[in-house]
Structure 1
């Protein structure tokens, strides 16, 4: 079956809980194989997840596959961008340098999601060039298991502790540059693409919760309507003001949906309900940045209309 809406309503619900992140990803890979688009795989992967953290994993991975189809595969990938001063171009101190016939990276990334489990790291590094007052960045692909890469786990976060984060030290690690500008063509659009796919996976997971707990049909209808809205976004143009404005509307509808469904959580089992209360803050972590992108999108629309 490759109709993801029908799949959400009729597919069997896997009951066995994954033992760890690797098992959660293996389940995602097995159950989402029939679906062609990354957003549909994120939705189906969220439905396969037994908790919000593993739904996030599905969305995060499929966002990378949407933006970087050339690195798509069965192995886990992680974005390694954030440094001590953040992930803005001016804060990037990790450097990319030529070495023989190839390239190497050197520096420290302070917050790499699933760093411990990733086979490949997409590292954002500075080239040393400055154009129009801005550091030029490249996104490069680095194999995590090579000798020049040291991954050190950070303490688990209070929310979604199943998803680890790490500090990663690069010491002349061999790297393969990816096409385009590391900020404009990767890091900036990735934040939007990630928002879309994580929301898609969350909605898939909520359908699973609702079906398991016997939520009423009107609630499942609202969830599927939100899924359809997410699927309708044009992710070939993630920098479009229209995409940001539409996504802002979808998030507003999603917030209302969560508020309306609040009483229904009393019908869910205690473990699922307690995890939801623990992990729901995960959905708000990018809210401030998303609000700024929405303001910028409206300003761009206003400027174009003048």
Structure 2
């Protein structure tokens, strides 16, 4: 079982200030991270090598995907379930007919570097496919707003053979939604640890211990819900005390990331 000390002992040779764009972060991730690490180690280490909020999001997101879907591959894998709800420019969602899959998923995180994509077909069945699957194409949006340092795109399936996709078992997508902020907070702790080593900062051992307790459960225990709410509040307090100049990228547009999930976390605990 991973301990706070295990996380705090993780070391990396390449400092985060050498990053300039998502490609640099992806290259560093692939060269430094160990595919045999737990999701907690993966998120924390991703935070250690991050220099901006968009990369902290990627770190937590990748760890949450791995944990939820029991993945052990090193390749970046994304969950794409969003479908178009714009009546003026509709893109049909993914459907399967006679063994062929067509349609769109309208939000793909890290679209330039994602190797495998998990999608829902006919809204209920989950499949995973490689980005090079015949008939699958990714286009990239001009992301100029929130988390613009992370590529974001659209996946189009055009007459894809369902036999080219791997069916996944039964997974609770609600668990992914709950783990996404949890592993973002692990990544944030990794970032904090690196900053603390350079400039000094808060002792995060207790914070990591609490996050590990939450990660050990399935979010149904009232005590864990309360602990998550308490930890969320502490994370927000620490983040609010950090100088914006610690973060590369567009801090002003991205700073809402660290409070993005707070309302839901607090409500699950009967607060807020």
TM-score (structure 1 length as normaliser): 0.73
| 1:74 corresponding residue in structure 2 | 74
Distance change >3 Å, CA 186–CA 97, structure 1 → 2? farther
2:228 to 237, 244, 247: 247
Q: Is the 8 A contact 2:95 2:102 kept in 1?
A: yes
Report whether the alignment pairs 1:164 with 2:151.
yes
Structure number with greater CO (CA < 8 Å, separation at least 6) is 2
Displacement of 1:114: 1.2
1:255, 1:271 → 2: CA distance?
A: 16
Displacement of 1:147: 2.9
2:202 to 198, 220, 240: 220
Across the aligned residues of Structure 1 and Structure 2, the Cα RMSD in angstroms comes to 3.0
Displacement of 1:149: 1.4
| 2:168 corresponding residue in structure 1 | 178
2:54, 2:44 → 1: CA distance?
A: 14
What aligned pairs does 1:1-306 form with structure 2 within 5 A after superposition?
Answer: 3-7=5-9, 14-33=15-34, 36-69=37-70, 71-85=71-85, 93-97=93-97, 99=99, 104-126=100-122, 137-173=124-160, 174-180=164-170, 185-212=171-198, 214-215=199-200, 219-221=201-203, 223-235=204-216, 237-238=218-219, 240-259=221-240, 261-262=241-242, 265=243, 270=245, 272=247, 275-295=250-270
1:55, 1:63 → 2: CA distance?
A: 12
1:286, 1:35 → 2: CA distance?
A: 28
SS of aligned partner of 1:152: strand
Q: Is the 8 A contact 2:232 2:262 kept in 1?
A: no
Larger Rg: 1
Unaligned 5+ runs, structure 2: 87-91
TM-score (structure 2 length as normaliser): 0.81
Q: Is the 8 A contact 1:150 1:169 kept in 2?
A: yes
Higher helix fraction: Structure 1 or Structure 2?
1
Unaligned 5+ runs, structure 1: 87-91, 128-136, 299-306
